[in-house]
């Protein structure tokens, strides 16, 4: 196809550029993640309670893990959970 030997040390970006392609895996992952979180927020009260953190109990010890909504907010450009929820409700079909 591109006649690149497997022994040649080429960067992925260079190979994509020669093939005139672009990386789609991350874009597809983000799109599916956003549609999944939107569907969950709109339709499932139990899961929304879990995601919003309305669970009783003790906090875990150690460094807090990266919260899923903070990651989604960073990817979508939203500034808060309410903005994400508003975007999900506006995309309802």
* 16 vs 37: CA distance, rounded Å: 31
Asked if residue 13 is part of any domain, the answer here is: no
Quick: pLDDT tens for 44-74. 777 776 666 666 677 777 776 667 777 777 8
Asked if residue 4 is part of any domain, the answer here is: no
Asked if residue 1 is part of any domain, the answer here is: no
Closest residue by Cα to residue 76 from 43, 50, 85, 39: 85
Asked if residue 38 is part of any domain, the answer here is: yes
pLDDT at 55: 62
Total domains in the fold of the chain: 1
Asked if residue 81 is part of any domain, the answer here is: yes
Q: How confident is the model at residue 93 (pLDDT cuts 50, 70, 90)?
A: very low
Asked if residue 79 is part of any domain, the answer here is: yes
Q: Domain range for residue 43?
A: 24-55+65-90
* 28 vs 26: CA distance, rounded Å: 5
């Amino acid at each position: 196809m591109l006649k690149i030997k497997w022994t040649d040390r080429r960067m992925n970006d260079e190979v994509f550029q020669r093939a005139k392609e672009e990386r789609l895996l991350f874009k597809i992952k983000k799109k599916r993640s956003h549609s999944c979180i939107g569907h969950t927020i709109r339709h499932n009260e139990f899961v929304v309670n879990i995601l919003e953190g309305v669970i009783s109990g003790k906090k875990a010890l150690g460094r807090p893990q990266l919260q899923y909504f903070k990651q989604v907010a960073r990817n979508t450009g939203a500034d808060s959970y309410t903005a994400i929820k508003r975007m999900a409700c506006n995309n309802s079909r």
